Amino acid sequence: MDRSDVIADARAVLARHARTFDLAGRFLGRARRDEAAVVYAFCRLVDDLADESPSAEQADRALAEVEAELRGVRPARPLVAVFRDLLGEHGTDLRVPLELIAGVRSDLGPVAIADDAELLRYCYRVAGTVGLLMCGVLGVRARVAQPFAVDLGVAMQLTNICRDVAEDAARGRVY
């Protein structure tokens, strides 16, 4: 599978699962829209590996495989390979998607967030990291912008937590 096939698949994932983001992407140039789709598809892959696995143990193993692919320890599936290339093209530190995976991994068992600091750490990991990934896609190079990108991601995650209180509680997640 070549890069154009991965991008086409990523755009289909974006259109199917995130219509609002897909619509917003129309304001970007084609190259940035395609890169945003790859970032979204990668994040979706990570999230789905956790949420759709039959067990926490299987989800943990699947997430470990993605980590190994990101680190270059094992051959990367096409999406991860293209995503990893994007990280390099934008100078995004590998620690950013690894933090995303750590955040998603923290949802594998029962969740009972103890305090505001732990909640903010969780929100950074699962959403602030996405803001940092999008900085590269959007061509934002000024480091001064990064905290704002993180804050936007954290705010969006806090909104999602408020919206999904009942659903999360049914999954054993209390944020």
The whole-model pTM stands at 0.92
CA-atom Rg of the chain in angstroms: 16
Average pLDDT, the chain: 93
> What's the pLDDT score for residue 62?
98
What value does the mean pLDDT take over residues 88-104?
97
Q: What is the pLDDT of residues 21-41, one digit of tens each?
A: 766 767 777 788 899 999 999
What value does the mean pLDDT take over residues 88-99?
96
Q: Is the pLDDT reported for residue 75 higher than 70?
A: yes
C-alpha span between 42 and 96 (Å, rounded) = 13
Contacts of residue 101, defined as CB under 8 A and 6 or more positions apart, other chains included, come to: 46, 63, 66, 67
Q: Is the pLDDT reported for residue 18 higher than 80?
A: no
Percent of the chain with pLDDT over 90: 81
C-alpha span between 89 and 71 (Å, rounded) = 16
Contact present, 153 and 100 (Cβ < 8 Å): no
What value does the mean pLDDT take over residues 126-146?
94
Q: Which residue would you say has higher pLDDT here, 32 or 15?
A: 32
> What's the pLDDT score for residue 1?
78
Least confident of 43-47, 147-151, 164-168: 164-168
Positive/negative CA dihedral, 32, 33, 38, 40: positive
> What's the pLDDT score for residue 25?
67
> What's the pLDDT score for residue 29?
75
Least confident of 26-30, 53-57, 75-79, 88-92: 26-30
> What's the pLDDT score for residue 117?
96
